[in-house]
Amino acid sequence: MQTIDSPEHILQTIFGYDSFRHNQQEIIGHILDGNDALVLMPTGGGKSLCYQVPALCLPGVTIVVSPLIALMKDQVDALLMSGVKAAFLNSSQTSGEQAALSEQLKNNELKLLYVAPERLVGQDKQFLTFLQTLEVSLFAIDEAHCISQWGHDFRPEYRVLSELKQYFPSTPIIALTATADAQTKDDILAQLHFKAHRVFENSFNRPNIYYSIQPKKGYYDALLDYLDAHTGDAGIIYCLSRAATEKLAADLVEDGYSAAAYHAGLEKNLRDERQDLFLKDDIKIMVATIAFGMGINKSNVRFVVHADLPKNIEGYYQETGRAGRDGLPSDAILFYGAGDVMKLKSFAQVPDNEEQTNILLQKLEKMVQLCETKRCRRKYLLNYFGETAPDYCGSCDVCLTEKTVEDATLIAQKFLSTVARLNERFGANYVIDVIRGSQAEKIRAEHKTLTVFGIGKDLPREDWQHYAKELLLENYLQHSTGEYPVLLLTDKSKDVLFKSAKVYLQAPKPVVLTKEPVVYQQHAFEKSLFEALKKLRNQIAHEENVPAYLIFSDSTLLDLATYLPTSNHSLLSISGFGAFKAEKYGTAFLEMVQDYCNANELSSRMELKQPKRERKPKITKERESDTKKTTYDLYLQGNSISEIASIRNLSPNTIESHLGFYIGTGVLSLNDFVLSNHQALIVAAEKKHGRLSLKLLKENLPDSISYGAIRMVLASMPIH
Ligand code: ADP
Ligand code: ZN
């Protein structure tokens, strides 16, 4: 198709990103060739760019169908902030506003228009016929699984989209979703009457999310410990009932945390207000039912806690997926207790519909298995969604738990002999009651006189439950089939009872290792600067009345606090700074970085930033070397560093770094700038203290060695 700009150029100048992620580039290329595409990508994977970039490459308007008004507004706001002409059309607008939009459309002034499906096709196809008079370049269908009744979120109003191809036979359609099984996928393709299409699937893995499942007993203390270790972070805590959200939020507020409850039973105004406060980081913790989160784009949600068990893996994955959309490390923590399973089992009963009940129970069972598994949680999740995964992910509680195996021969003998004495006719709970000498009525009188009665009083019930599971897992026991499964002995257990075979089992209380830091930043960042930058972002967000993350994501601020750009030009290499945002906010953020650098005698670390990948446009490279070249030429003409600085209106630091570049490449000789004995001292100091703090180096060197000399020597040394 005819294009007006290249995807790479749009990505860098408008969105401020270095390179495409996953298969974005392939998808965009396929669309720009005029084809249809179905894109499956996990939340936070970067679906939006798959249609926003083509929208800006193509000459006409792109129509985006989205089910949620909140989401539309958010997306449009985000685009406007990057200088892209976008708008949405919905029923809340006045006829005047709608007329103005039509006018803009007629004049081809909009690049993206967001609409609800019923708005697009409803009203006697009026709107569709109007669109036919315009240049529509692309249709994007967000949350495309809503079109299928096999999906978990079927919306009948999406069905009308199956008529799109009749009206626009040659306009490409891109359908996007974060969840779709095989059946749903086929249904989407059929419903939309896709032509030369491709399906783009990505791994559903969310590498930046750490999964942890902990016992529910006494969870409040564990929760507070977690929150205390993560002050300032935003997160969502999911509860099963409305009442539970209110109670937990009230408790948290009383204990001094910034929290609020959110559920569908609250007045709309109150809900909107709380959501808004959360989006603006004014409320840090939202305690919510699952009514909260659909259509929330907040990218800096650092944790999602499930205080109650979710009903199924799909829900769990969707909810935990709201953490870490910006790609920074985030936590998903679930507090799991057997009581919840009972409760959910009763909720799963659909009156007069055994089939549906069974489906719901099976899904619940899978959820329980995730909680009980002794293997990698991530692997379990990915396998559930039909993906393969390695046994060890290194970022879930199971992988990070040291498994302590102990000699449990005596314990096994006690348990197995009790099973034998009960003639293999009872389940684990009864066996444990007998072992622990329970006086409950349900324990038959004749069992209270057995020699094994009470032989395991010394251990708490939970430990015995743990050992029962271990014995099952290691095949010392097995379950009988049938409605009321009982514990049976195996050949292996007979060896224990009659041949004194040794038994080794996992200890009940495993040692949880400290979480390994996920390597998301190669270099250390300035924490206090990062916090200050967040404050600046929030202040701007308040002035402009938009959510903070729409200004810049946490990862952009982290980049700033890591690489310390001190010129407008280097700002453009920071992920998330497109030309428009750099122009609008650049000065404020640059000043803050510069002040910080001055106060702490730090210099820019842009040279540590990984070179952009092959997609980097040549112009940037040339420009960068241009400015260095100018400095170099002035130096060759005999000007000193401070003279060049004043001629070029740049700081001496910058000039030194330019010249440092030529020293690094061997064009200039370090000996012309720094005495050789000073060079040796600086090299030695760098070996000892590293190069991240110039101040530290300076303090450990004789006063006669200047910052400039240190910089020059560093520039001449390879980074190791
Ligand atoms: P999804 O819709 O798939 O959940 P988004 O489109 O909201 O995900 O993208 C998640 C985040 O990742 C956004 O902040 C987005 O700007 C960012 N992002 C997307 N593509 C890239 C990229 N190529 N480089 C850097 N950041 C990106
Ligand atoms: Zn794991």
pLDDT for 308-320, tens place per residue? Answer: 999 999 889 989 9
Question: CA-to-CA distance for 274 and 287, rounded, in angstroms?
Answer: 11
Question: CA-to-CA distance for 422 and 453, rounded, in angstroms?
Answer: 11
Domain boundary among 184, 201, 218: 201
Cα(380) to centroid of ligand 2, in Å? 9
- Which residue in 652, 648, 628, 640 sits closest to 711, CA to CA? 652
The most confident of the ranges 131-145, 497-511, 681-695 is 131-145
Token readout for 704 is 């006669």
Strands, DSSP E only, in 556-641?
none
Q: pLDDT at position 155, please? A: 82
Domain boundary among 150, 177, 201: 201
For residue 24, the ligand 1 atom closest to its alpha carbon is: 23
Query: 409-421 vs 491-499: helix axis angle to the nearest 10?
Result: 110
- The pocket around ligand 1, CB under 6 angstroms, is made up of 17, 20-21, 24, 41, 43-49, 299, 325-326, 553, 575
- 445 and 544 share one domain: no
| CATH number where 437 lies | 1.10.10.10
User: pLDDT tens for residues 325-334?
Assistant: 888 889 999 9
- 113 and 53 share one domain: yes
- Under 8 Å CB-to-CB from 309, ≥6 apart: which residues? 240, 334, 336, 337, 340, 341, 344, 367, 368, 371
Cα atoms found within 13 Å of the Cα of residue 397, Cβ hemisphere only: 18
Cα(377) to centroid of ligand 1, in Å? 25
Give the 3-state DSSP-derived string for 407-473, with helices as H, strands as E and coil as C: ECHHHHHHHHHHHHHCCCCCCHHHHHHHHCCCCCCCCCHHHHHCCCCCCCCCCCHHHHHHHHHHHHH
Radius of gyration from C-alpha coordinates of the chain: 31
* pLDDT at position 510 over 90: no
Structural domains of the chain, count: 5
- 11 and 78 share one domain: yes
Per the CB < 8 A criterion, the answer to whether 503 and 495 are in contact is no
Q: pLDDT at position 589, please? A: 95
- 182 and 220 share one domain: no
Does some domain include residue 452? yes
Confidence of residue 458 (pLDDT cuts 50, 70, 90): very high
Instruction: Using alpha carbons, list the distances in angstroms from residue 173 to 3, 303, 720.
Output: 16, 35, 48
Per the CB < 8 A criterion, the answer to whether 43 and 178 are in contact is yes
Does some domain include residue 515? no
Amino acid at 463: D
CA angle 630, 631, 637 (to 5 degrees): 90
Average pLDDT of the segment spanning 174-192: 88
For residue 11, the ligand 1 atom closest to its alpha carbon is: 23
Extract long-range pairs of 550-557: CB within 8 Å, 24+ residues apart: 550/74, 550/77, 550/78, 550/81, 551/81, 551/581, 551/585, 552/576, 552/577, 552/581, 552/585, 553/299, 553/300, 553/326, 554/299, 554/300, 554/326, 554/328, 555/326, 555/327, 555/328, 556/16, 557/530, 557/533
Pocket test for ligand 1, best of 9, 13, 17 (most atoms within 8 A of CB): 17
Structure-token match 């409605």, residue found: 483
- Under 8 Å CB-to-CB from 245, ≥6 apart: which residues? 239, 261, 262, 263, 287, 288, 289
Question: CA-to-CA distance for 488 and 445, rounded, in angstroms?
Answer: 22
Q: pLDDT at position 151, please? A: 63
Does some domain include residue 613? no
Cβ atoms within 10 Å of 589's Cβ, excluding its own:
24
The dihedral built from the CA positions of residue 536, 542, 548 and 550, taken in this order, carries a sign that is negative
Per the CB < 8 A criterion, the answer to whether 60 and 134 are in contact is yes
- 351 and 229 share one domain: yes
Q: pLDDT at position 719, please? A: 53
Q: pLDDT at position 692, please? A: 63
Confidence of residue 118 (pLDDT cuts 50, 70, 90): confident
Cα(412) to centroid of ligand 2, in Å? 29
- 533 and 502 share one domain: no
* pLDDT at position 248 over 90: yes
| CATH number where 69 lies | 3.40.50.300
For residue 20, the ligand 1 atom closest to its alpha carbon is: 23
Domain boundary among 580, 608, 636: 608
**Mean pLDDT score of the chain, rounded to an integer?**
87
Does some domain include residue 478? yes
- 218 and 352 share one domain: yes
Give the three-class secondary structure for 488.
Answer: strand
- 330 and 219 share one domain: yes
- 213 and 174 share one domain: no
Torsions phi, psi for 493 (to 5 deg): -70, -30
- 593 and 646 share one domain: no
Does some domain include residue 369? yes
Nearest CA to ligand 1 atom 18: 46
Confidence of residue 536 (pLDDT cuts 50, 70, 90): very high
- Lowest mean pLDDT: which of 149-163, 345-359, 447-461? 149-163
Does some domain include residue 680? yes
* pLDDT at position 614 over 50: no
Does some domain include residue 617? no
Cα atoms found within 13 Å of the Cα of residue 667, Cβ hemisphere only: 12
Q: pLDDT at position 625, please? A: 53
Token readout for 598 is 């001055």
Question: CA-to-CA distance for 511 and 719, rounded, in angstroms?
Answer: 38
Average pLDDT of the segment spanning 116-129: 85
User: pLDDT tens for residues 620-646?
Assistant: 333 445 677 788 888 887 888 888 888
Per the CB < 8 A criterion, the answer to whether 144 and 175 are in contact is yes
Q: pLDDT at position 631, please? A: 83
Sheet holding 86-89, edge to edge: 86-89, 112-115, 61-65, 136-141, 173-177, 36-40, 197-201
Question: CA-to-CA distance for 284 and 287, rounded, in angstroms?
Answer: 10
Q: pLDDT at position 610, please? A: 62
How many whole angstroms from its chain centre is CA 704? Answer: 49
Q: What pTM was computed for the model? A: 0.63
Does some domain include residue 389? no
- 281 and 420 share one domain: no
Q: Which ligand is nearest to the CA of 23?
A: 1
Cα(326) to centroid of ligand 1, in Å? 7
Q: Label residues 357-388 b or e (16+ Cβ within 10 Å = b).
A: eeebeebbeebbebbeeeebbbbbbbebbeee
Strands, DSSP E only, in 307-381?
330-336
Cα(46) to centroid of ligand 1, in Å? 3
| CATH number where 585 lies | 1.10.150.80
Confidence of residue 518 (pLDDT cuts 50, 70, 90): very low
Cα(474) to centroid of ligand 2, in Å? 21
Average pLDDT of the segment spanning 321-347: 91
* Structural domain boundaries enclosing 573: 527-608
For residue 299, the ligand 1 atom closest to its alpha carbon is: 14
Average pLDDT of the segment spanning 420-438: 95
The dihedral built from the CA positions of residue 81, 574, 275 and 119, taken in this order, carries a sign that is positive
Q: Which ligand is nearest to the CA of 399?
A: 2
Cα(148) to centroid of ligand 2, in Å? 32
Pocket test for ligand 1, best of 8, 10, 21 (most atoms within 8 A of CB): 21
DSSP 83-147: T--EEEE-TTS-HHHHHHHHHHHHTT--SEEEE-HHHHHTGGGHHHHHHHTS-EEEEEETTGGGG
Q: Which ligand is nearest to the CA of 515?
A: 2
Torsions phi, psi for 120 (to 5 deg): -70, -50
- 417 and 484 share one domain: yes
